[in-house]
Amino acid sequence: MYRMLRVVGIFCAAAASLGACTTAEAPTPEPATQTVAAYAPTQEPVYEEVGMASWYGPWHQGRKTASGERFDMNALTAAHPSLPLDTKARITNLENGRSVEVTVNDRGPYVKGRVIDLSKRAAEKLGMKKQGTATVRIEVLPDPDEDEEDARVAAANASPRS
């Protein structure tokens, strides 16, 4: 027993002296990472509307839109009855919380009770393509290149139809 304690003692002394003689490098800190919010606007919307959205796709592919461009069901676009053409709007599916930014380039929808028609791609991003419709919030945020007052006037003129 005494012999075992002596061996352990020698081993511990050797380990302690080696530890004291070596210099331990301080671990280098990991660079700080910063999480960036996906899309967190700080401005209030100049226009907001809640209602039923639907989508349109293959049956309109390639036809002229109200803006004069050809409809592309794979672009992030929308048809709204009164928002100015080329308006950028954030659409949020209130049933699952998904959002997408679209450009209004057409007029519609022409079905009672619907507030906006979305391209097929926008509907996919919102997770509403399979069911065909969803309750959404439409938000038009002020364009940083446009005077906010002008944006509010344009949005006010685009009041929802009754």
- pLDDT band per the 50, 70, 90 thresholds, residue 143: confident
| Whole-number Å distance between alpha carbons of 54 and 22 | 70
**Is the pLDDT at 97 greater than 70, yes or no?**
yes
- How does pLDDT run across 98-121, given as a tens digit for each residue? 999 999 999 999 999 999 999 999
Span 22-59, pLDDT tens digits: 444 544 444 443 433 344 445 688 999 999 999 998 88
pLDDT at 157: 66
State the CATH number of the domain containing residue 136: 2.40.40.10
CA 36, 101, 56, 131 torsion-angle sign? positive
Q: pLDDT digits over 20-31, tens only?
A: 444 445 444 444
- Please, are residues 51 and 114 in contact by the beta-carbon 8 Å criterion? yes
Binned at pLDDT 50, 70 and 90, residue 142 comes out as: confident
Q: Is residue 15 part of a domain?
A: no
Q: Answer yes or no: is 77 within a domain.
A: yes
Domain count of the fold of the chain: 1
Q: Which residues contact 92 (CB under 8 A, 6 or more apart)?
A: 98, 99, 136, 137, 139
7 found inside a domain: no
What's residue 71's pLDDT?
Answer: 95
Whether 141 has a pLDDT exceeding 60, the answer reads yes
Q: Which residue has the tokens 């393509």?
A: 129
Query: Is residue 5 one of the residues assigned to a domain?
Result: no
In a domain, 105, yes or no: yes
Provide the residue count of the chain: 162
Domain that holds residue 82: 48-156
User: Does some domain include residue 118?
Assistant: yes
| Residue 38: DSSP 8-state | S
Residue 27 domain-assigned (yes or no): no
Burial class (CB in 10 A: 0-12, 13-18, 19+), 101: middle
Which H or E element spans position 2?
helix 2-21
Phi, psi at 133, each rounded to 5°: -140, 160
What pLDDT, on a 0 to 100 scale, did the predictor assign at position 144? 72
Per DSSP, the residues of 51-93 read: EEEEEE-GGGTT-B-TTSSBP-TTSSEEE-SSSPTT-EEEEEE
pLDDT of residue 147: 63
More confident residue, 69 or 3: 69
CA pair distance 62, 89, nearest whole angstrom:
22
The verdict on residue 115 lying in a domain is: yes
* Cα distance between residue 2 and residue 59, in whole Å: 93
Least confident of 93-97, 127-131, 158-162: 158-162
